[in-house]
Structure 1
Amino acid sequence: MHPFIHASSYPDKPACILASSNEVLTYGELEARANQAAHLLRSLGLKRGDTVAVVLGNDFEIFIAAWATQRIGLYITAVSTKTSVGDLAYVLENSEAKVLIAGKAYSDVAVQAASQIASSSMRIFGHAPGQVPFIQACEGFPTELISDPTAGSDMLYSSGMTGRPKGVKPQLPEGPIEAAIPLMLLGEALYGMGSASRYLSTSPLYHAAPLRWAMVIHRFGGTVVVMDRFDAEQSLELIERHRITHATFVPTHFVRMLKLDPEIRCKYDFSSLQAVIHAAAPCPVPVKHAMIDWWGPIIHEYYSGTETCGITALNSAQWLNKPGSVGRAVLGVVKIVGTDGEEVPAGIQGDVYFADGPRFEYHNDPEKTRQAYNQKGWATLNDIGWVDEEGYLFLTDRKSFMIISGGVNIYPQEIENHLITHPDVEDAAVIGAPDDEMGERVVAVLQLKAGVIGGDEFREQLRKFVRDALGGVKCPQQFDFRSELPREPTGKLMKRLLKAEYEAAHHTLKG
């Protein structure tokens, strides 16, 4: 199960379609270009276990680079297209990248970042003066599969909550490059993915889940329709036009689609959908109920991380029976651990760990790797939650997001999930801001719907809205309004930026 097999069987079948331009990359073309790229990288002396970094948008080039590295035993490190010069320089140095491939819009950043790192041997392909674009550099190399193919993998950087991102480095696969991988087996067993799948990719491909799921579809021989950026109505139009069978979204996408005018929501045909998958962030219970009511029981959810040390999953029927759950383990074994480091019984909250899952390490950071594992060898993604008697996992929040106000532990996820259901609220973030008396105070930072005025009267409405549902302890002491909240394109809320802003303001006031 690999593109080289599909290229031989049906070379003219679309492997990728760009939603913005309707351009098509066939399996025959993908295979030829990936082989040329593999030969190029080998000619530069790259060997099994080396790293290629890419700063590329949602287009064909990222797939050509990824499939090239996969067949010659390399790691691909995809970097955010919104990266700063400093962050890119850090990733390049930390990953020990031998090659950097930059798209046209990111070549200047690549040049500046490369100038900040000690290594002078890294080869850059880009569009800045003196550089050669990667695709152009591949021309003239053989289009046939290399004589000694070996499986590669990705080494992607987890954004983390504090400090620098961490490079998640799995072990390279052994065996033939066409061997099935765990995510492929899950895609087939849970979601019915196969050669007839037509998959809508809605998020940036530099993130773990979007890149990995798209490549799984290529392993099956299906077609990937790639959006360059998410748009609520366009996603509905693409589902109808391309007869999409599978798609991945994040809860923020659901919220935006649900808030479309009813006439627009009813305008498009989504009957081709077989499985819609969401992850990456908690989905408020009312939002998920609304999506199941709209699209039917085809909504699936899973919980994991870039580390992939374990996965839980559940379908619509299971979720309707266990609202708010993220499912039971399908990879690894869920363990809830108390403050004493021991496993706690069902129904008791604690740190979420996975036992018996795939091993990983944080590249060049043995201390962070050590902190991710406990004395029993179980790995954590630093979430807090509990399991019920049937083994269904319920997440409470990220451990680092917990607010301690007056000695009381408050988990903002529950408050955010309620606030987002208010008809005048477009987006919500709840954080702990420094407070001299309470240690931290609960602050809600909100993006309101167009035309809504966020004055004192509206703040009082929101206080009552939260207090009536969640009680006084969980009600924010402060409501602030923004035109937009800092979210990654995948929908993940970048709370660290908000917390840093409020901490800086507190220090300024303190003098």
Structure 2
Amino acid sequence: MTNPYEQDLDRQPANFQPLTPITLLERAAMTYPDHLAIVHGSQRISYRDFWRRSLRLASALAQRGIGKGDTVTVMLSNTPPMLEAHFGVPMVKAVLHSVNTRLDAAVIAFQLDHAEAKVVIVDREFSGVMKEALALAKARPLVIDYDDPEYPADAPHPKGERIGSLDYEEFVAGGDPDFAWSMPDDEWDALSLNYTSGTTGNPKGVVYHHRGATLMTYANTIHASMSKHCVYLWTLPMFHCNGWCFPWTLALQAGTHVCLRWVRPKPIYDAIADHGVTHLCGAPIVMSTLINARPDDKREFPQTVIFNTAAAPPPEAVLAGMADAGFSVTHLYGLTETYGPATVNEWHGEWDSLDRGGRSAKKARQGVRYAPLEGLTVMNPETMRETPADGETIGEVMFRGNIVMKGYLKNRKATDEAFAGGWFHSGDLGVMHPDGYIQLKDRSKDIIISGGENISSIEVEDALYKHAAVASCGVVARIDDKWGEVPVAYVELKPGVAATEEEIIVHCRSLLARFKVPKAVIFAEIPKTSTGKIQKFKLREMARIG
């Protein structure tokens, strides 16, 4: 029997358009053209000018032949060009690749080649490492320098040399402010590319699509309680999962972006007080920076600021300190593969009456699914059966829905493994509580989260093994008040060979990005099984008890 609701009711341009976050900025510019869109130092950019500059960028890229499927790489701080790239690049159907500004040249070179970068826009703060990466890479992109006119006088290091053939402002000025931009052909088309930390071997390129990013803008607006003309402070790096999709989110409510190059207490407090900041996101180190700031660096402000954090759950003392300082903390959880946060610890008012231990137990949980996530569960990865919702049986946390990545670029095997059984396998181990809230218990790939950065213990161990004196080693996380977690190395030396802690650390600095270098090296016999496998759980216990 013919379904009458499918008869002569077809998709057509009048009733179906691909979802894309680009249209949100277009609407904001049309509706609130004079509203303040971006604050950067002394710069004030309206929504009218934000839209026009994004169009100019798109036009300039199109003039260089950039189009669908081409990769535009950016290595930028939280500055206006980074925001413009989030709209201008997809306007020509190209893909935005944001580079982690803390990576070393070898990893950056791999990404440039793997992504087949056609254009690189680089802040002069990072020109040194990018120059080295370009020398290592096979890719030969058009290189454009961004010379930030608001670069602070008290910067921790001076600007690097110009390495490009063009200046960003000159490049954008050559574009057309009335450029006829293009909608994506399909909302499934690639929008951006973000690389994982690389737990084994090379990092994997996570591909986002227009549909997922658009749905995340609505989800962030709901779950972060973002009202009309909210004011968002950029403490979270925009290279992290495209800033958890907040560069696109702010357009929905015509909010104001307040740019911040470095996380330092006085500029944060000044921005909150001077610009009426209502929201910010960050790792535990940002909270520590705020509550441990010197009295002279702090400022009073009348509004309650919503702080979204997605790392380890904050201790009760930190939450209390944040509340006293005027912040309300929301605990989120997600991965690069889920566009950033995909779960939220939805708080129940009656939990406020619990004792301190009871509140801490509730706040330690990663929570329930984001609105556009269709499935969140804990399963036995071998049987693909859900674990009992008893808060005790450990399984793997799994996701399903429209805010799960498109897949891994040029890596069908890894994509198929990640999506085995119709669910995205997070690699995180956790439990399901009777009320449907999940809680992480361990990380199956031994990832260390330090200051919001993912550090692979395997990568650090590989560097340690390159030292001639190291016979065996294991790297685990140690709790740290400032960074949340830091890597510590347990090293067993070869017989008759000597080495100092400082020597090992200097060796690691020559091979790893600075944030990945062990904060301590402990010389000890490495515990192993009868088959020679290192017993990481014993090392973790050793790190826990000091």
Question: Normalising to structure 1: TM-score of the pair?
Answer: 0.74
Paired with 1:230 and 1:345, the residues of 2 have a C-alpha distance of 42
Distance in 2 (alpha carbons) for counterparts of 1:72 and 1:222? 25
Give the secondary structure class of the aligned counterpart of 2:490: strand
Report deviation, 1:345. 0.9
Return the alpha-carbon distance in structure 1 between the equivalents of residues 197 and 239 of structure 2.
12
Query: Contact 1:157–1:165 (CA<8 Å) still a contact in 2?
Result: yes
Shift of 1:426: 7.8
Q: Does 1:135 align with 2:169?
A: yes
What letter matches 1:124 in structure 2? V
Task: Say whether 1:345 aligns with 2:385.
Answer: no
User: Displacement, 1:62?
Assistant: 1.4
Matches within 5 A, 1:84-483: 84-120=104-140, 122-126=141-145, 128=162, 131-150=165-184, 153-173=191-211, 181-208=214-241, 210=243, 212-261=245-294, 263=295, 268-279=299-310, 281-291=311-321, 293-294=323-324, 298-308=328-338, 311-317=342-348, 321=359, 322-330=362-370, 331-338=373-380, 340-341=382-383, 342-346=385-389, 347=391, 348-357=393-402, 358-374=404-420, 376-401=421-446, 416=479, 420=481, 429=486, 433=490
Which residue is 1:455 aligned to?
none
Q: Which residue does 2:73 correspond to in 1?
A: 53
Pick from 71, 81, 88: which aligns with 2:91? 71
Instruction: Judge which range, 318-327 or 41-50, deviates more.
Output: 318-327
Shift in Å at residue 225 of structure 1?
0.7
Contact 1:255–1:287 (CA<8 Å) still a contact in 2?
no
**209-218 vs 251-260, greater mean Cα deviation:** 209-218
1:12 is matched with which residue? Answer: 34
Aligned partners of 2:223, 2:233: CA distance in 1, in Å? Answer: 17
Question: Relative to 1, partners in 2 of residues 1:108 and 1:132: Cα closer, same or farther, differing over 3 Å?
Answer: farther
- Distance in 2 between the 1:411 and 1:113 partners? 27
* CA apart distance, 1:297: 8.0
Mapped to 1, the partners of 2:426 and 2:348 lie a distance apart of: 26
Is the partner of 1:193 in helix, strand or coil? coil
Give the counterpart letter for 1:498 in structure 2.
P
> SS where residue 400 of structure 1 aligns?
coil
The alpha carbon displacement at 1:16 in A equals 1.1
Deviation readout 1:158-211 (Å, 9 max, x if unpaired): 22334322210123449xxxxx81122112222222431011111322222526
Contact 1:397 1:411 in 2 (8 A): no
CA contact (8 A) 1:299 1:316 kept: no
Q: Structure 1 residues 162 and 433 mapped into 2: Cα distance closer, same or farther (>3 Å)?
A: farther
TM-superposed deviation, 1:313: 0.3
| Cα distance between partner residues in 1 of 2:424 and 2:364 | 23
TM-superposed deviation, 1:304: 0.7
Deviation at 1:316, TM superposition (A): 4.5
For the residues of structure 2 that align with 1:247 and 1:156, how far apart are their CA atoms? 21
Superposed CA offset, 1:94-152 (max 9, x none): 111221112223345434433433344x3222373661113212323210141533376
What TM-score, normalized to structure 2?
0.70
Shift of 1:224: 0.8
Q: Which segments of 5 or more consecutive residues in structure 2 lack a partner in the other structure?
A: 1-22, 146-160, 353-358, 449-473, 494-500, 527-546
Change (3 A) 1:89 1:426: closer
For 2:302 and 2:413, locate their aligned partners in 1 and report how far apart those are by CA, in whole Å: 49
Q: How far apart, in 2, do the equivalents of 1:115 and 1:430 lie? A: 30
Q: Distance in 1 between matches of 2:126 and 2:226?
A: 34
Question: Are the equivalent residues in 2 in contact too, given 1:75–1:154 (CA < 8 A)?
Answer: yes
Cα offset, 1:381, TM superposition = 2.4
Residues 337, 350 of structure 1: 8 Å contact kept: yes
For residue 155 of structure 1, give the secondary structure of its aligned residue in structure 2. Answer: strand
**What runs of 5+ residues in structure 1 fail to find an aligned partner?**
175-179, 404-409, 437-444, 446-481, 487-491, 507-511
Relative to structure 1, is the Cα distance of residues 146 and 195 closer, same or farther in structure 2, using a 3 angstrom cutoff? farther
**CA–CA distance in structure 2, aligned partners of residues 292 and 145 of structure 1:** 45
Kept in 1, the 8 Å contact 2:25–2:252? The answer is yes
SS at match of 1:260: coil
Q: CA deviation at 1:380?
A: 2.2
* C-alpha distance in structure 2 between counterparts of 1:392 and 1:434, whole Å: 39
Between stretches 425-434 and 136-145, larger displacement belongs to 425-434
The separation in 2 between residues aligned to 1:87 and 1:37, in whole angstroms, is 27
- How many residues matched? 432
- C-alpha separation between the residues in 1 aligned to 2:34 and 2:414? 46
CA distance in 1, matches of 2:276, 2:447: 42
Partner deviation per Cα, 1:52-79 (whole Å, 9 max, x = no partner): 1011222211122221013222210011
Change (3 A) 1:106 1:340: closer
What RMSD, in angstroms, separates the aligned Cα atoms of the two structures? Answer: 3.8
Note the C-alpha offset of 1:287: 4.2
| Counterparts in 2 of 1:402 and 1:164: CA distance versus 1, 3 Å | closer
Partner of 2:536: none
- Change in Cα spacing, 1:315 to 1:114, as seen in structure 2 (3 Å) is same
**Distance in 2 of aligned mates of 1:278 and 1:207:** 13
Residue 91 of structure 1 aligns to a residue in which SS? Answer: helix
Identical residues among aligned pairs (%): 22
Q: CA deviation at 1:268?
A: 2.8
Alpha carbons 1:35, 1:142 under 8 Å: kept? yes
- What is the match of residue 463 of structure 1? none
